[in-house]
Amino acid sequence: MSIKIPKTQKVAIVASSGEDIQVKNDHPVKSQADLAPGECLVKLHCTGVCHTDLHAALGDWPLDAKTPLIGGHEGVGDIVAIGSHTSASPVKVGDRVGIKWLADSCLHCEQCRKGREQNCLDAKLSGFTVDGTFSEYVVSYVHHVTPIPEGLDSKEAASILCAGLTVYRALKYSQTNPGDWVVLPGAGGGLGHLAVQYAKYMGLRVIAVDSGEEKKKLCLDLGADHWIDFKECKDIVDSVTAATDGLGAHSVVITTPGSGYQEAVGYLRKGGTIMAVGLPGKATLDASIFFTVFKSISILGSYVGNRQDAIESLAIAACGGVKCHFSVKKLGDIQEVYKEFQKGTVAGRVVIDMAL
């Protein structure tokens, strides 16, 4: 199957850390002959935009992104070429696939063998250490792209590849059972609104924490059992405890950057679990050591997800268990989207349509 591949493409690129993102129309496209074994070229239909992309552009993490950088790690498109001499490829030209934050890993080290491919020392990260999905074409890797289930719209799938995958894995390992209470700070945001749905799919009872009427309506419409507006609530610990028969919640998934740990130890019941998900650049974890020990609290870091987590999170979306709420933008709107992220005014997710 031969597909005509152009020599240049439109991309959104950051020349160096801290600079504004710029759209260029003449960025080169890698040809099939130039693809290494194991690489594939994907023509993108769309890509999600994530807070992580903003951090990469600003350079405010303790890890350095490559520059110049094409960001993005929630892409969906069709494979149009595969590198020569690629062996045992699980995908073929014409397949619709997703590109995640974890672009590639060795698959042979201890971390990979234990299902923590995202912690591989040789991991490649889309839109951070390798160019990502803010482009018409992207180079990815046949053993890590994720097949998109039939019937799942590409724009619906895009945000599942990071936001959905990330909260799904956190909930999966949150040491909860059906009927348990989970607190979701930032429940009306991009990760949070998906976490509400995955939690309900898993049979959990959800306490949504966020602010504003729009986010309140979104969370309650998605099935949250209880709403707390953190700007109006005088004592979140008391409010969570009261909503959970005075015993406290079983778990909390903290997707908001760097806050809420001290409160979480207060409102979790004994044996509860804190799932740390949000990635602030410099914040530290502030929680009572005494009550963490006294209440037998577990604090677990949960970093994106592996290949199996991606397949599972997409399968739930494909069967209707989760629906991403998103607005559609064009590639040239990314700088404005970043400004909205910084203001905290984005409800749900943002997806870039490459056809616009």
Quickly list DSSP for 279-310.
Answer: --SS------HHHHHHTT-EEEE--S--HHHH
Instruction: In the chain, list all ranges with CATH 3.90.180.10.
Output: 8-161+305-353
The SS3 assignment for 350 reads strand
Rounded to 5 degrees, what angle do the CA atoms 83, 127, 91 make? 35
Instruction: In the chain, list all ranges with CATH 3.40.50.720.
Output: 174-301
> Which of these, 236, 167, 163, lies nearest to 200 by C-alpha position?
167
Q: What pLDDT shows up at residue 46?
A: 98
Cα 63 to Cα 220: distance, rounded to the nearest angstrom:
37
| Local confidence pLDDT in tens for the 356 residues of the chain | 568 899 999 999 999 998 999 999 999 999 999 999 999 999 999 999 998 999 999 998 899 999 999 999 999 999 999 999 999 999 999 999 999 999 999 999 999 999 999 999 999 999 999 999 999 999 999 999 999 999 999 999 999 999 999 999 999 999 999 999 999 999 988 899 999 999 999 999 999 999 999 899 999 999 999 999 999 999 999 999 999 999 999 999 999 876 788 899 999 999 999 999 988 878 888 889 999 999 999 999 999 999 999 999 999 999 999 999 899 999 999 999 999 988 877 777 899 999 99
Q: In this structure, what are the phi and psi dihedrals at residue 212, rounded to the nearest 5 degrees?
A: 105, 150
Cα Rg of the chain (Å, integer): 20
b/e map of 59-81 (b: 16 or more CB within 10 Å)?
A: bebeeebeeebbbbbbbbbbbbb
Q: What pLDDT shows up at residue 301?
A: 95
**In this structure, which topology does domain 8-161+305-353 adopt according to CATH?**
Quinone Oxidoreductase; Chain A, domain 1 (3.90.180)
Residues 6+ apart with CB under 8 A from 242: none
Burial class (CB in 10 A: 0-12, 13-18, 19+), 10: middle
Residues 6+ apart with CB under 8 A from 53: 71, 72, 73, 127, 132, 134, 338
Q: What pLDDT shows up at residue 230?
A: 94
Q: What pLDDT shows up at residue 33?
A: 96
Whether the link from the prior residue into 257 is cis, omega within 30° of 0, is: no
Cα 103 to Cα 113: distance, rounded to the nearest angstrom:
17
The SS3 assignment for 165 reads helix
Cα 329 to Cα 352: distance, rounded to the nearest angstrom:
5
Cα 157 to Cα 76: distance, rounded to the nearest angstrom:
7
Cα 181 to Cα 110: distance, rounded to the nearest angstrom:
34
Residues 6+ apart with CB under 8 A from 257: 51, 278, 279, 280, 283
Residue range 174-301 forms a domain whose CATH class is alpha beta
> Which of these, 176, 218, 184, 232, lies nearest to 324 by C-alpha position?
218
Q: What pLDDT shows up at residue 1?
A: 54
What secondary structure does DSSP assign to 4-24, as a single string? ---SEEEEEEESSTTSPPEEE
> Which of these, 224, 278, 282, lies nearest to 253 by C-alpha position?
278
A 10 A CB-CB count for 356 gives 11
Q: What pLDDT shows up at residue 281?
A: 77
b/e map of 144-173 (b: 16 or more CB within 10 Å)?
A: bbbebeeebebbbbbbbbbbbbbbbbbbbe
Q: In this structure, what are the phi and psi dihedrals at residue 295, rounded to the nearest 5 degrees?
A: -95, 5
Q: What amino acid occupies position 104?
A: D
Q: In this structure, what are the phi and psi dihedrals at residue 324, rounded to the nearest 5 degrees?
A: -80, 130
